[in-house]
Structure 1
Amino acid sequence: MSYNQKIKEIVRLVRESKKTLALTGAGISTESGIPDYRSPGTGLWEKHDPAKTASLSALRKDPARFYSVNLNRWIAFNHAKPNAAHYALTQLEKMGLLTGVITQNIDSLHVRSGAARVWEVHGHLRTCHCMECRESYSFDYLVQNFKSGDNPPRCAKCKGVLRPDVVLFEDRMNEDFYQATQVISGCQLMLVAGSSLTVYPVAGLPGVAKQIVIINRTPTPYDEEAAVVVHENTGQAFQDIMAEMSKGF
């Protein structure tokens, strides 16, 4: 099947599906300037062992080092802007063709693109909380403390260490993940965009869907089971999908 035939087939599947969900990973945000985790030469995990730098035990053992290694990268996430793929999924939702987005990303780009239903299964960088008293703060408050020389950033009430509301290595999955496992029931079509489908338990979610479409630059473990596989940048693929979609309206 040629690339154009694949795009036409994806559009047909989306139009015919009565319940479609998107599952997105780091690859959907690379065109917004956010590096992914596993790409050879540029992947974030090639530079830092996440088990040592982005884990719950790393935060507890040496919170100052945890923030020194991770915070500037997270601040950069918050300056990124949604790209064509994020906006395309939001448009599909507004057209009534997408139930919502399940995302592994913590960059909030789906939310910023105007998506109404987003399950952020690894959390987000909009808020943080105290590890001692659980008091909640904006993520900006944490950043301001760090930039003022308070490393690690601390709670204004009890002086406990603050932590972002993201799922770190060794953390339990959050409430959004458990909601996603419920909403996926009856999913006829899952659009996987920019995910290598290797990080569990999220990588197991496509197995629930009746059909899968995968748009990812590199192969995934689900490619052989997918109805359509497109090895292309997500931004380009979704621009082409939306262009083809517009022909029928």
Structure 2
Amino acid sequence: MTGPALAEAARLLAAATRPVVFTGAGMSAESGVPTFRDARTGLWERYDPRELATPAAFRADPALVWGWYEGRRHGVRRAVPNPGHRAVAAIQARLPETVVITQNVDDLHERAGATAPVRLHGSLFAPRCSACDHPATPPDDGP
């Protein structure tokens, strides 16, 4: 976005009192976090979601599913927030009533300084049992 569109966006944001910022996979892709549906690099281009992201898959092979999620957690820990994450955090810092809603399961918004994002798809770092909804603690393998 450049020129008049950028100026209009800045004007609208400056006038806002309770903005809502909604982010999806593109936000974290810039930090190197793979998306699910990208035609060339998406996770579902390389993996079958029925074998990795369903309760049935976990029942069939818990080690495979848990290991796949551990690999994703490890990758996210290596990623760093990008200018988009930092911009969202800056908006929220200037306008504390900003609501951040994300489809992303990483923690890059928080590491950039955003507080309490609403997570539509949960968090890689807060897994829960699909049968009883109790939290499971992933291993802490560091940054």
TM-score (norm. length: structure 2): 0.83
Q: Secondary structure at the match of 2:85?
A: helix
Tell me what 2:77 maps to: 78
CA contact (8 A) 1:99 1:117 kept: no
Partner AA of 1:37 in structure 2: F
Cα RMSD (Å) of the superposition?
2.6
Shift of the 133–121 alpha-carbon distance from structure 1 to 2, 3 Å rule, reads closer
- Higher share of residues assigned strand: 1
Structure 2: segments with no counterpart, 5+ residues: none
CA contact (8 A) 2:69 2:124 kept: no
CA contact (8 A) 2:85 2:112 kept: yes
Output aligned runs, 1:34-73, within 5 Å: 34-73=33-72
1:130 is displaced (CA, Å) by: 5.9
Provide Cα deviations, 1:60-91, integer angstroms capped at 9, x if missing partner: 22212213444212321122111111111111
CA contact (8 A) 2:73 2:125 kept: no
Larger radius of gyration between Structure 1 and Structure 2: 1
Partner AA of 2:98 in structure 1: T
Structure 1: segments with no counterpart, 5+ residues: 145-249
CA contact (8 A) 1:38 1:44 kept: yes
Distance (Å, rounded) in 1 between the aligned partners of 2:89 and 2:83: 10
Tell me what 1:190 maps to: none
Output aligned runs, 1:18-33, within 5 Å: 18-33=17-32
Shift of the 8–53 alpha-carbon distance from structure 1 to 2, 3 Å rule, reads same
CA contact (8 A) 1:128 1:138 kept: yes
1:56 is displaced (CA, Å) by: 1.9
Distance (Å, rounded) in 2 between the aligned partners of 1:90 and 1:97: 10
Tell me what 1:7 maps to: 6
How many residues matched?
A: 142
1:136 is displaced (CA, Å) by: 4.4
Distance (Å, rounded) in 2 between the aligned partners of 1:62 and 1:124: 21
Tell me what 1:181 maps to: none
Distance (Å, rounded) in 2 between the aligned partners of 1:97 and 1:68: 38
Moved more, 108-117 or 81-90: 108-117
Seq. identity, %: 35
1:99 is displaced (CA, Å) by: 1.2
CA contact (8 A) 1:89 1:98 kept: no
CA contact (8 A) 1:106 1:124 kept: yes
